[in-house]
C-alpha cells in the first residue's frame, strides 16, 4: 500500500474513531498511526517511541487506553487486519475496514 492507496482507508478510520467508544477509538487511532508509519517510515527522533509502542502492544503499560493504542499501532504497522471490536471493547458493531485491509 502506498500513500495514495491508504488515503481512503485513513478517512474511513477517522469516521470510525468519531463514532467509537473511547477505548476502541484509541485502538483505531493507533491503527491509523501504525499505517502511516509503515508507509512513511519512522524518523530517527521517533524510533524510541516506535519501539516503546511495540512493547506496550502486549499490555505492558498498565493503562488500558495506552495498551489499546499500542495494539492498534502494532496491527496497523504490521499490516494486520484490525482486531474485532469484541476483542478491544464491549461494542458489537461490525468493523467495515477489516475487509479493506
The pLDDT value recorded for residue 15 is 94
Q: What is the pLDDT of residue 19?
A: 93
Instruction: Please check the confidence at residue 23 and state whether its pLDDT lies above 90.
Output: yes
Give per-residue pLDDT as tens, 24-64.
999 999 999 999 899 888 777 688 888 889 899 988 888 99
Query: What is the rounded distance in angstroms from the CA atom of residue 32 to the CA atom of residue 21?
Result: 16
User: Where do the H-state alpha helices sit in 41-63?
Assistant: 47-56
Torsion angle of the four alpha carbons 60, 97, 14, 59, in this order, in degrees rounded to the nearest 10: 0
pLDDT greater than 70 at residue 91? no
Cα–Cα dist 40/34, whole Å: 10
Q: What would the pLDDT profile of 55-90 be if each residue is shown by its tens digit?
A: 999 888 889 999 999 999 999 999 999 888 765 544
Amino acid at each position: 500500500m502506498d500513500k495514495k492507496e491508504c488515503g481512503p482507508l485513513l478517512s474511513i478510520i477517522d469516521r470510525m474513531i468519531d463514532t467509537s467508544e473511547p477505548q476502541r477509538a484509541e485502538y483505531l487511532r493507533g491503527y491509523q498511526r501504525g499505517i502511516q508509519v509503515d508507509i512513511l517510515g519512522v524518523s530517527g527522533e521517533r524510533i524510541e517511541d516506535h519501539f516503546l509502542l511495540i512493547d506496550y502492544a502486549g499490555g505492558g503499560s498498565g493503562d488500558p487506553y495506552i495498551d489499546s493504542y499500542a495494539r492498534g499501532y502494532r496491527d496497523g504497522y504490521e499490516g494486520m487486519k484490525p482486531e474485532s471490536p469484541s476483542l478491544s471493547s464491549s461494542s458489537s458493531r461490525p468493523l467495515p475496514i477489516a475487509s479493506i485491509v
